Structure 1
């Protein structure tokens, strides 16, 4: 483990040096993500200007859900964004072969091969949303709750990674599963809102099939007393661990099924 941490440090430092060579491009990427996220939040604010609550959830409670979702997704966006490209960048043209002849885990190499600067913008807007929401919510913060929030955000990021890895692994059979990955990832937008506003079927889908509910709504529910889902919310770290295990197991199946494009 320590070897991989040291290796990742070298990869990460090298990627940052490359990004800093094109600082304007870096800043434009960060700003564009902030602008996109702000536009979504502005739309929610416009809706709440017309209503007092959304199925019992206030604007700042929804903003709190948004903040957890954005901050958790930023972990995936910054460190694991290369999972999107497995099919078209590595498998389709045979580039994946070089990962198989190097003395490191192929999945680690894919992940470490890219740092996405746009994710820093998502992290910034996520933290801003969280701090803004927290300042307007009557939550009594203790050291335990702060640590719980950190665990929830890390778990949110882990679920995003697990779902993306699972569907990106389909590229070993399909050559490029990007359309499926993009389609599934769009489902995460539902989790930015209280799941109680959706039908039972959608809630079940986002809880037990594609567990995006554990990237935002359930983690936020752990801190909102009237949510009614505080007990389910405490399952978030467990769901994150199980999801990652399933995704990695599926990755192993895909890796064994891989045949080079030259075979």
Structure 2
């Protein structure tokens, strides 16, 4: 309950700050919509030249893309660690974090949250609804629970990968980072996994499991029974990878010696 209380206090302060600069909030929202629009245009251009992509229709791929946006939005709202090395290690702000009686990762997640990113999830749900109508998909009452479970699993997979990458900074304070490259690789999860070479499929499934963020769980709702086993494994992968990230984080914090020279 203590951590829940801290969470809502951080959220209240965050909303007060954002509402002081409404124009900036609107610009961020429009920028996010434009980015998603570019990806949609790309898909539409591809299907302007072909009716199928390795057996997947345009509407099926739109559904996968829409689903991908939802866990990605949750991840983007709470796990903005792209500048962790520069801000917390190089500038020494980790020292401030460690003086407080709250887990350091929890503090940094709350300090860096961007709740406006959740609007991307709304866009994803709209795209899914459009594609579902085109595909005449039918859903059961328990599919809502499965959707929430898959979204949380996908978000924790993303969080696990990027928190693990952030922990490298505890061992190396160099300013270079592989975060931007990993963000680009993560986008492969928004497309059907079987359009890639088998080596890439293996990497996106078991090493950098971004396929569990988009195509695998989305396949459950699309009725692709050959992928059901992978879909149900999504929350398990989320727990495993986020658990590994927390272990690495705790080990890195123990190694951290402060910002002194």
Q: Using the alignment, how far apart are the partners of 2:83 and 2:106 within structure 1?
A: 14
> 2:54 is matched with which residue?
55
Alignment of 1:34-45 (within 5 A): 34-45=33-44
Q: Using the alignment, how far apart are the partners of 2:122 and 2:30 within structure 1?
A: 10
Alignment of 1:219-230 (within 5 A): 219-226=217-224, 228-230=226-228
> 1:67 is matched with which residue?
66
Higher mean displacement: 99-108 or 133-142: 133-142
> 1:151 is matched with which residue?
149
Q: Using the alignment, how far apart are the partners of 1:247 and 1:123 within structure 2?
A: 24
> 2:78 is matched with which residue?
79
Alignment of 1:160-239 (within 5 A): 160-176=158-174, 179-226=177-224, 228-239=226-237
Report the alpha carbon displacement of residue 61 of structure 1 after superposing the two structures with TM. Answer: 0.8
**Native 8 Å contact 1:167 1:177 kept in 2:** no
> 2:139 is matched with which residue?
141
**Native 8 Å contact 1:19 1:117 kept in 2:** no
Higher mean displacement: 123-132 or 250-259: 123-132
In the alignment, does 2:248 pair up with 1:250? yes
Superposed CA deviations along residues 61-112 of structure 1, whole A, max 9, x for unmatched, are 111111111111100111222x222210111011110111111111111111
Q: Using the alignment, how far apart are the partners of 2:91 and 2:112 within structure 1?
A: 18
> 1:20 is matched with which residue?
19
Unaligned runs of 5+ in 1: none
Unaligned runs of 5+ in 2: none
Q: Using the alignment, how far apart are the partners of 1:220 and 1:177 within structure 2?
A: 37
**Native 8 Å contact 2:66 2:125 kept in 1:** yes
Higher mean displacement: 134-143 or 159-168: 134-143
Report the alpha carbon displacement of residue 177 of structure 1 after superposing the two structures with TM. Answer: 6.5
**Native 8 Å contact 2:77 2:116 kept in 1:** yes
Q: Normalising to structure 1: TM-score of the pair?
A: 0.95
Q: Using the alignment, how far apart are the partners of 1:53 and 1:250 within structure 2?
A: 42
**Native 8 Å contact 1:168 1:178 kept in 2:** no
SS of aligned partner of 2:221: coil
Higher mean displacement: 201-210 or 107-116: 107-116
Task: Indicate which of 124, 127, 148 corresponds to 1:126.
Answer: 124
How many residue pairs align between the two structures?
A: 261
Report the alpha carbon displacement of residue 179 of structure 1 after superposing the two structures with TM. Answer: 2.4
SS of aligned partner of 1:135: helix
Q: Using the alignment, how far apart are the partners of 2:121 and 2:29 within structure 1?
A: 9
Q: Normalising to structure 2: TM-score of the pair?
A: 0.95
**Native 8 Å contact 2:62 2:127 kept in 1:** yes
Q: Using the alignment, how far apart are the partners of 1:176 and 1:19 within structure 2?
A: 32
Report the alpha carbon displacement of residue 114 of structure 1 after superposing the two structures with TM. Answer: 2.6
Report the alpha carbon displacement of residue 224 of structure 1 after superposing the two structures with TM. Answer: 2.3
Q: Using the alignment, how far apart are the partners of 2:180 and 2:170 within structure 1?
A: 17
Higher mean displacement: 116-125 or 242-251: 116-125
**Native 8 Å contact 1:223 1:230 kept in 2:** no
